[in-house]
Structure 1
């Protein structure tokens, strides 16, 4: 037994115990940080760049290698996507966002169902914060351009320009002999 070594350990334990409060304190959690409008605008621009929105909704974006000025972005396109569903045109998002409140956009985009070629499933998969950032960015760009042409029903040939989306033939099942 070595009393000289255990005495400092006991003293340290008593000092630490004396420093502790008698009842445990509860600390209120910090509120979740909210993004500033500048952060949301930057996030919205980033999402529009990387998610391919400009590929269809901004005429000439792809051909420019993504270098078009933002004032030309998201004004819709006269390029049609023609297939068995009819013909779809990429809408003018800048005009559309001016017609919606943020709350309306969040509700609309959470359940978005559109015609082909729009990957609406990608928008539905986004977080509410991402969809809010998109709204803030596009809304901040302000209105510009003209409405895109109206969708055409199946069987009606659109005026040029349009992509003709031909579905592959389904191979026949082999016949059992």
Structure 2
């Protein structure tokens, strides 16, 4: 009985070693595809959950998120007018195409911009989430054109734009 258990153990060990040899001979491209795919899937998830498409993809909110990925994150001609002036959601696909990963990681960790961009959310993301966003957006490839330039307060934007009107301050009393 003891001999058959030893034989079975030795057989399992041999199979495990053979499986290890087979895995070691797998091409590097195949072996590394899974982590890359995971990072791209994570980046797509982050873009959806962080609301990037809400502003940076034309028609995304109006169509309930039913916009093909080929049209994602190309910026928007919709102005956001408020006391800060008028801002436009940047074309992230062109912006990130012009940055290497190290530049993006530094930029996204320290971004301070005008409303309505929730830059504080981007700065608060874990580095791996920001890296995943970068890789996903880069994988989409460059597309679209440059968004309109920021307009300072008092300079009227061309339509379309949304205007944020703040209530008057209550008198001190």
Could you say which TM-score interval applies, normalised by the shorter chain? Answer: 0.7 to 0.9
CA distance in 1 between counterparts of 2:62 and 2:85 reads 26
**Residue 119 (structure 1) shift:** 0.3
Q: Aligned partners of 2:132 and 2:71: how far apart in 1?
A: 19
More helix by share: 2
Instruction: Give the TM-score normalised by the residue count of structure 1.
Output: 0.78
Match of 2:160 in 1: 161
**How far has the Cα of 1:115 moved from its partner?**
1.0
Equivalent residue number for residue 46 of structure 1: 45
Q: Which residue in the other structure is 2:92 paired with?
A: 93
Aligned to 2:13: none
Q: Which residue of 1 aligns with 2:4?
A: none
Distance in 2 (alpha carbons) for counterparts of 1:103 and 1:168: 42
Structure 1: unaligned runs, 5 residues or longer: 1-33
Find runs of 4+ consecutive structure 1 residues off by over 2 angstroms.
none
Match of 1:27 in 2: none
Partners of 1:159 and 1:91 lie apart in 2 by 17
**Aligned-pair CA distance for 1:93:** 0.2
Deviation, structure 1 residue 65: 0.7
- The alignment partner of 1:77 has SS state of coil
Unaligned runs of 5+ residues in structure 2 are 1-31
TM-score, normalised by the number of residues in structure 2: 0.80
Q: Secondary structure at the match of 2:86?
A: strand
CA distance in 2, matches of 1:151, 1:100: 21
Deviation (angstroms), 1:99: 0.3
- Larger gyration radius, structure 1 or structure 2: 1
Q: Whole-Å Cα distance in 2 between the matches of residues 167 and 37 of structure 1? A: 45
Q: Tell me how many residue pairs correspond in the alignment.
A: 141
Displacement of 1:64 after TM fit? 1.1
Corresponding position of 2:55: 56
Q: SS in structure 2 opposite 1:36? A: helix
Per-residue CA deviation, residues 113-154 of structure 1 (Å, 9 max, x unaligned), is 111110000000000000000000000000000000000011
Aligned residues: CA RMSD: 1.2
What displacement does 1:37 show?
A: 1.1
After superposition, the C-alpha distances for 1:76-134 in whole angstroms (9 at most, x for unaligned) are 00000011111000000000010000000000000011111100000000000000000
Q: What's the counterpart of residue 170 of structure 1?
A: 169
**Where do 1:58-77 residues align within 5 Å?**
58-77=57-76
